[in-house]
Amino acid sequence: MSHDNRIAAAAAALRTARLQRQPVPRISEAYGITDLHSAYAVAEINQGAHRADGHRKCGLKVGLTSKAVQQQLGVDQPDFGVLFDDMEYLDGDTVPVNRLIQPKLEAEIAFIVGRDLDALRPSYGEFLRCIDHAVAALEIVDSAIADWKITLVDTVADNASSGLYVLGNQPFAVNTLSLADQTMTLTKNGQTVSEGSGAACLGHPLRAAYWLACTMAERGQALRAGEVILSGALGPMVPVAAGDQIVATIGSLGTVSCQFE
């Protein structure tokens, strides 16, 4: 099978897995997808198919920014995925687990892009000028790879294991917060299940978002006003199931919650 055919076949396998809610073995092994360039090519095919189904890109996520999560999954660098309009929920919403395969949840700080960022390689100052607000968020990650036994290539190909996300109600101006110092406590059914801080996210959540801005610029893609950036986990991810009640408290950003049915 040619390289292009292997990429197309891997994309089809992941797309079918998500449609049928049935995980598949590692596509890195089943289809010989062994490098990041090929993995992102797989993801782009399925992102294009999602757009063709009438869905609209509304942001991006940075994945694998927490050392704790990297250790959980055995990887050593960030990745990114695309967020679509049908992935978004708001604080207090009920999330149907039948949209997911094997969901886990992380508490994060999300950023809202205030101005388009078109620089080929943005300086940190140019990047900061384009970020307006921060908001507490939950990311519901979900893998199409059986038992979450992923490599970096597998999660990249699977749109960075993107599932759904929940945004808090109240945005805060970025320049009013010391984001690295924000502490995070995540509870499930009233019990604390994950703790962390802004510093767990590549040392500072804005640095994670800046990594994303630079990475997208290198790929010829700009950040656009109104887009959401999920900057990465502030602590270990936890499995969730129907009936679970989730509340995350992130320092001055307050709380964000959801329940699963």
pLDDT tens for residues 205-231?
Answer: 999 999 999 999 999 999 999 999 999
Q: What length does the chain have?
A: 261
Global pTM value: 0.95
What pLDDT score was predicted for residue 69?
A: 65
Query: In angstroms, how far is the first alpha carbon of the chain from the final one?
Result: 42
What does the mean pLDDT of the chain come to?
94
pLDDT above 90 coverage of the chain, percent: 90
C-beta separation of 63 from 201 below 8 A: no
Domain range 57-260, CATH class: alpha beta
DSSP SS3 for 102: coil
